[in-house]
Structure 1
Amino acid sequence: MLRKILAVPAGLIAGIICITIIEKIGHQLYPPPAGAASGDMLAMKEYVAHAPFMALFFVIIGYALAAFVSGLTASKISNNGKHTAAVICGIVFLLITIYMMVSLPTPIWFWILGILVWGLVFAGSKLALKNKIHL
């Protein structure tokens, strides 16, 4: 029972770590203005509105990796042979992603990919359930 309870937070933490690492790499290559880094939402909106394609695509890459890793982690830890924990992680991340896309002026391609990539929780979950990967 404890494994089922801890599976979702573990999957979320694993996903957050993935997003953070990939976004930090993206910010090294495409640095946001100082105001955006300090939490100034107006500066962040201005940056996103004029950011190069790859600056935003790094966020999508982070989401995709996070979806896969969180699905794998949650399913492996829950160890119940079901996708439930992975799906919960995917839904939580999807809701956060939609909130961020509503808050910032993201282009339509970002909306499409930003929603679709969270389906990768199933790929991670399927791999965890199929293989004997030990976490």
Structure 2
Amino acid sequence: MFRSILSVVGGAAIGVFTISLVQYMSHQLYPVPAHLNPNQGQAVASALENAPTAALLLVLFGFALGSFLAGMVAARYAHTRKVLHALLAGLLLMVAGIANLLALPHPLWFAVVSLLLYLPMAYFGGNMAARRMP
């Protein structure tokens, strides 16, 4: 039981780390305006609406890669039901993604695509890890 919980939480932690790393790279390539005050919701909303599409696509890539790796790690360290553990790790990331979408206004297409990424990518990662690897 403890190993199952640890595999899901560990997978989700790897996913969060990966997403954070890709978002950091996105901010390096597409910096946030210097005059932006993060405490002003309207200014943040405006910055997100005017963000380059490539920056948002890079963030979506981070969500996909993070979910994939979370599923792989969760499935790799689970004893049984490996794909279920991968999906649970993806679900944790999806809940965090929903919280992010509720906290900051995003374009509609971004919200829809991001919600469609978490579980399938975690499933694919879990499926790959569930196969016997030497």
State how far apart, in whole Å, the 1-side matches of 2:132 and 2:110 are: 32
Q: Give ranges in structure 2 of 5+ residues lacking alignment.
A: none
Structure 1 residue matching 2:82: 3-state secondary structure = coil
Number of equivalences: 132
State how far apart, in whole Å, the 2-side matches of 1:18 and 1:77 are: 18
Q: Give ranges in structure 1 of 5+ residues lacking alignment.
A: none
Aligned ranges 1:30-49 → 2 under 5 Å: 30-34=30-34, 39-40=38-39, 42=41, 43-49=43-49
Question: How far did residue 39 of structure 1 move?
Answer: 4.7
User: TM-score w.r.t. structure 2 length?
Assistant: 0.87
State how far apart, in whole Å, the 2-side matches of 1:117 and 1:76 are: 20
State how far apart, in whole Å, the 1-side matches of 2:25 and 2:12 are: 20
State how far apart, in whole Å, the 2-side matches of 1:127 and 1:68 are: 10
TM-align CA RMSD: 1.9
Question: How far did residue 129 of structure 1 move?
Answer: 0.4
C-alpha spacing 1:30/1:79, structure 2 compared with 1 (3 Å):
same
User: TM-score w.r.t. structure 1 length?
Assistant: 0.86
Cα shift readout 1:58-94 (whole Å, capped 9, x = no counterpart) = 1101100011000000011113143222111111111
Task: Answer yes or no: is the 8 Å Cα contact 1:35–1:44 preserved in 2.
Answer: no
Task: Answer yes or no: is the 8 Å Cα contact 2:48–2:107 preserved in 1.
Answer: no
State how far apart, in whole Å, the 2-side matches of 1:53 and 1:127 are: 30
